[in-house]
A and B are shown apart, each in its own frame.
Chain A
Amino acid sequence: NAGVTQTPKFQVLKTGQSMTLQCAQDMNHNSMYWYRQDPGMGLRLIYYSASEGTTDKGEVPNGYNVSRLNKREFSLRLESAAPSQTSVYFCASSESVTNQPQHFGDGTRLSIL
């Protein structure tokens, strides 16, 4: 029972570098989400995909892009990393946006120097 799998678990980047965070779920869920978690700020939604083929902006989308590759996979890309993007990133999935709860991966800890 893998659930939601995120890769990599840790990453250090230099300012200006790009990278893609990968997420896959094996629960046949329709909806997927990307959050960032920063101390004292809880979870903030970056982007979500209500269903395969659709993506929408969340609360803090600037500096990020996403791709819903297929029903299982939802990737998050940082085109030109900035120190302000140092955070812990979580991917989550749910049966649908209206049928919760969300199931979370264990996160990617990203540091940008």
Chain B
Amino acid sequence: AQSVAQPEDQVNVAEGNPLTVKCTYSVSGNPYLFWYVQYPNRGLQFLLKYITGDNLVKGSYGFEAEFNKSQTSFHLKKPSALVSDSALYFCAVRTGGYQKVTFGTGTKLQVIP
């Protein structure tokens, strides 16, 4: 079985400040972890993924995520938020022996000018 939790429905951050969107996961086995972003009236767009290797993963638009095995977390971060980063963010997980990807419920990021 696999599951993913995004504990915050919404995150507000001032433009220029660092942002963090939290994600924790539960799997039996090694996880494959993903972050996606969704803008209004659009489909999800891939940001970054962790498969193996370096715990700090860099992705599109200046985003990065840190894999922490002991805390079973994969938080999304960006050093300096932009108003255009305002969107809905989804964390997702898959395990090696399981074909399906499980998505979290999403976190709405609001960047305040």
| A residues with CB within 8 A of B | 4, 35, 40-45, 48, 50, 56, 58-59, 90, 92, 97-98, 100-107
Contacts and interface: CB of A to CB of B under 8 A. Distances in A.
Interface of B: 9, 32, 34, 36, 41-46, 49, 90, 94, 96, 99-101, 103-106
A58 B43 contact: no
A98 B103 contact: no
A41 B105 contact: yes
B99 A48 contact: yes
Nearest to B35: A101
B32 A42 contact: no
Contacts of A4: 43
A90 B36 CA distance: 14
A14 B42 CA distance: 25
B108 to A, nearest CB: 11
A90 B99 contact: no
A63 B43 CA distance: 23
23 contacts: A4-B43, A42-B90, A42-B104, A42-B106, A43-B44, A43-B90, A45-B100, A45-B101, A48-B99, A58-B100, A90-B43, A92-B43, A97-B100, A98-B96, A100-B49, A101-B36, A102-B44, A102-B46, A104-B44, A105-B43, A106-B41, A106-B42, A107-B43
